[in-house]
Structure formats: C-alpha cells, structure tokens
Amino acid sequence: MDRLKRLLLIGAPLLMLLFDSCKKDPLNNLTNEESRIYVTNYDTTANFSAYTTFSVTDSVTIVQDNQFAGRSYDAYDANLINAMTQTMTQRGYQQVNKSASPDLAINISRVYSSSTVLFNYTDYWDYYGSYYDPYYWGYPGYGYYDPYAVGAYTVNNGGLEIDLLDLKNASANGNKLVGIWTGLARGEQVFSPNNASGEVSMLFSQSAYLKK
C-alpha cells in the first residue's frame, strides 16, 4: 500500500505536466485581427456635442522612441485619414480646411518603440510639441495639455495613435491645445492598408460619447 501511495504521488504530477503540455496555448492561435488591442481614453469633462467642425492632418507623424522621425502618406495612411473623415462625418461633425478655424484637430501618429510606455498624460502633452509642429494648426508657440489620466501601453513593432485636440478653446485654455480624446491600436498587421477602416471602427465603437 505504501508503495502504491508513493507511485501515485510521483505519477500524478507527471500526468498533470503531460496533460498541460498537450493543451494548446490560445494566444498562439489568435488570428491577426484577434491579436490587435484597442484602447481609448478621453477627458470626462469634455462636451463633445459642443464641437461642430473638424480637420484631419494631411499626413501621419512618425514617432520613434518619443522623437519626431518624419511624416508618412502611404496607402495605409490615406485609408486611415479617409476612415477618420468618414466616421467623424457620420457622427455629425463637419469637415473643414484647417485654415477655416476648425473646432477639433485630428492628429494621427505611428508610434514605434520596443519598450513599455508609462506616462502621465499631462507630461506627455507637454513634450508632444517636440515632435509635432504646432504651427500646422496655426497656433505658433502654443503648448499641449491633456488633463485626463495616467496611461501605459507596450508597443513592440509599432502602434497607431489618434488624438483629438480642442482648437475651439485654445485661447481660453491658456494658449494650450488640449487633447480631449486618444485612441491607440497595436498588434499584428496594425499598419496594413486593409485594416485601417476596421481599426477606426473599433476605436469609435468604444467611444459612443464622441458625437455631435
């Protein structure tokens, strides 16, 4: 009997290890679409229905390790800008040229990094101007400010970032362009032209409050 007990005590962990090694890791069987992660954040004090017009940047900012690394306009960028324009219009906002003093500015960035990014959003916007030219929106010398949260995300191969800036109240906000909404996407084939529309759709599906 003692010998049988010893065999059971030895055999049980081995069987558990064997069964565990035979199980499929669900993370290894995700499709490219399932692998993508979407995160949104916003200023809870913002009244999104108070804004009427918007303008989208005409190209995409490239950010490498928190540094401006140029601008891009390839097939993915074009599809993304078009999807943002269509979605904002469907939400009741009117697109205007940036010279027409839009209420909202939409910045789009490709963020490349191999480390976890942990930051206070206020600090983030304080140095955001170092790699995005505020002159683009006609506010030379203006800083950036984002009041709403502390954020953390990891970008291994690259991630998409979309930011909505409040131009309507820039002067009242102490000459600062306030970020009132941020959408992040990362994962496999995040920069595939065929995925741009779906990524915008996923981000906006988390943001029912973002409408006129």
32-205, which class in CATH? alpha beta
pLDDT, tens only, 91-105: 999 999 999 999 999
* pTM for this prediction: 0.73
pLDDT of residue 71: 93
Q: Where are the domains of the chain?
A: 32-205
The whole-number average pLDDT for the span 32-56 is 90
pLDDT of residue 8: 35
Percent with pLDDT over 90 in the chain: 49
DSSP annotation string for 65-124: TTEEEEEE-SHHHHHHHHHHHHHHHHTT-EE--GGG--SEEEEEEEEE-SSEEEEEHHHH
Q: What are 125-145's pLDDT values in tens digits?
A: 444 444 455 667 777 656 555
